[in-house]
Amino acid sequence: MAGEGAVLAMADPQAGSGLARTATVWVARLALTHFRCYARVELETDGRPVVLTGPNGAGKTNLLESLSFLAPGRGLRNATLGGVDRLPPGAASPSGSWAVAARVMSRGGEVVIGTGHEAAAGETAREKRVLRIDGIAAQDKSALTDLIAVVWLTPQMDRLLQEGASGRRRFLDRLVFAFDSTHAARVTTYEHAWRERSRLIEEQGASADPAWLTALEQRLTETGVAIAAARRELVSRLNGVTDSPGPFPRLELALDGAVEGWLEKAPALTVEDQFRAALAAARSPAGPPAPGPHRSDLKVVHAQKGIAADQASTGEQKALLIALVLAHARLIAAERGGTPVLLLDEVVAHLDEERRRHLFDALLEIGAQAWMTGTDEGLFRPLGSQAQFFRIKDAVIAGSGSD
């Protein structure tokens, strides 16, 4: 049994039938402090897929969330920093600020990543997420994308292809992060500039300082065109690897947005001029909405049926999402020479047996260290000794790592 401070050691990563490729990027050790339901826990793994099973509320998803903080952003729950701090049962305040430490086997060798919540220490202080790489403070979270690619699917994303465009944009941007370490910073810069521009127009209207608006729009133009170009490039490359054999549907991707449309017909510098002029023309609160990558949408089509994803059944939509994540993983392995870490929360529960087996075979063939959760361990039995199995109950982890 593994409780606070315990370490679970794994078996030989080469165990199994030989179908699996060895992961080239994987988490070898994970240590959590004051993270959600965990006061302190440590887990050692190898490059095989990891299966976490147990009842609902046991702490399975919390482990996946901790791994999602090895990527830029606010993790798979999009949580506030303070919202992740462990709150003991019956306590009125957290027991401490959360921290995640991971020993990662990367393409360049072993690296230790530490990140966590630095609470505000005064009325004017702001809480922030700190990051250390091999013990050295890193100010830019995009440094993570050069070391490890982390992509996730959760039950909350089951309606991603059916609901509003904002969720699909965030999902696509996370896919871009794996290939472009500056994309996260551009998105953050764009969002900050957009909020500031919107605030000025709403509060000051026609009296807003034109020079300040022009400066903000220049920042939006430069970052916005770069964001749209990076998204277009990845969508184009993904379309080249989405036609894989097996029971998952073939999909086709496209981007729907003004800036993306301009980039199809003109070079980036010309599009910057178009975008800048469109923003200037949309300064009036009563005028037309300004275009930009904040309005773009990722369109997904079920290619075999020729229908948009939002017209497909719930099961087909989930299969399309899995097919997209697998295509992205293959692209990472082919172009970066390293495999992604995949976080698949309750993904297999509603797949039929054929699709479950194909998913497992695909993960083993790609060589990705996939962390999968579920309440029924039996669904993962086809993986056998090619995966590491752990059982979780009440934030206590048990298991030898091999079935």
The verdict on 308 and 365 lying in the same domain is: no
Would the pLDDT of 360 be above 80? Answer: yes
Q: Could you give the number of structural domains in the chain?
A: 2
pLDDT confidence tier of residue 332, bands split at 50, 70 and 90: very high
Domain of 222? 160-337
- CATH code, domain with 235: 1.20.1050.90
Same domain, 328 and 395: no
CATH number for 8: 3.40.50.300
Residue 92's pLDDT band (cuts 50, 70, 90): confident
Q: Which positions ≥6 away from 362 have C-beta within 8 Å? A: 244, 246, 326
User: Does residue 88 share a domain with residue 207?
Assistant: no
The better pLDDT of the pair 15, 302 is held by: 302
Cα–Cα–Cα angle for 124, 127, 128, nearest 5°? 135
- For residue 123, pLDDT over 60 is answered with no
pLDDT on residue 337? 82
Please check whether residues 141 and 170 belong to one and the same domain.
no
Same domain, 130 and 263: no
Residues 30 and 11: their CA atoms lie apart, in Å, by 16
The pLDDT score that the predictor gives to residue 7 is 40
Alpha helices in 90-182 (DSSP H): 165-177
**Within-domain flag for 106:** yes
Both structure tokens of 303: 């290619």
pLDDT at 400: 55
Q: 277 is written with which tokens?
A: 């002029």
- Residues near 191 by Cβ (< 8 Å), separated by ≥ 6? 294
Whether the per-residue pLDDT at 258 is higher than 60: the answer is yes
Whether 316 maps to a domain, the answer reads: yes
Which token pair is 293? Answer: 């990558």
Q: Is 155 within a domain?
A: no
Q: How confident is the model at residue 3 (pLDDT cuts 50, 70, 90)?
A: very low
Q: Which residue, 301, 321, 337, sits at the end of a domain?
A: 337
Helix, strand, coil share of the chain (percent; to 5): 40, 20, 40
Q: Tell me, yes or no, whether 202 and 106 share the same domain.
A: no
Q: 307 and 179 in one domain? A: yes
Q: Integer distance in angstroms from the first to the last C-alpha of the chain?
A: 16
Q: How far apart are CA 307 and CA 294, in angstroms?
A: 25
The pTM for the full model equals 0.90
Nearest Cα residue to 392 out of 32, 28, 13:
32
CB 267 within 8 A of CB 280: no
On whether residue 154 sits in a domain, the answer given is: no
Among residues 261, 320, 270, 271, which one has the least CA distance to residue 295?
A: 261
Evaluate if residue 285 carries a pLDDT over 90.
no
**Residue-wise pLDDT tens digits, 125-183:** 578 999 999 999 998 888 898 899 999 999 999 999 999 999 999 999 999 999 998 99
Checking if the pLDDT of 229 tops 60, the result is yes
275, 395: one domain: no
Cβ neighbours of residue 159 under 8 Å, at least 6 residues apart? 317
**In 10 A of CB 108, how many CB atoms?**
10
* pLDDT beyond 60 at 5: no
Are both 312 and 173 inside the same structural domain?
A: yes
Nearest to 153 by CA among 38, 317, 358, 299: 317
Distance (Å, whole) CA 185 – CA 181: 8
Whether 72 and 199 share a structural domain: no
Buried b (16+ CB within 10 A) or exposed e, 177-188: bbbbbebbebbe
pLDDT at 121 over 80: no
Confidence bin at 237 (pLDDT 50/70/90): very high
**Mean pLDDT score of the chain:** 91
Torsion angles phi and psi, residue 15, rounded to 5: -65, 150
Q: What's residue 287's pLDDT?
A: 76
- On whether the CB atoms of residues 236 and 263 are closer than 8 A, the answer is no
- Whether residues 245 and 355 share a domain: the answer is no
Kindly tell me if the per-residue pLDDT of 243 is higher than 80.
Answer: no
Is 185 part of a structural domain of the chain?
yes
| Same domain assignment for residues 190 and 322 | yes
Spatial contact of 100 and 70, defined as CB atoms under 8 Å apart: yes
pLDDT digits (tens, 9 = 90+) for 46-80: 999 999 999 999 999 999 999 999 999 899 999 99
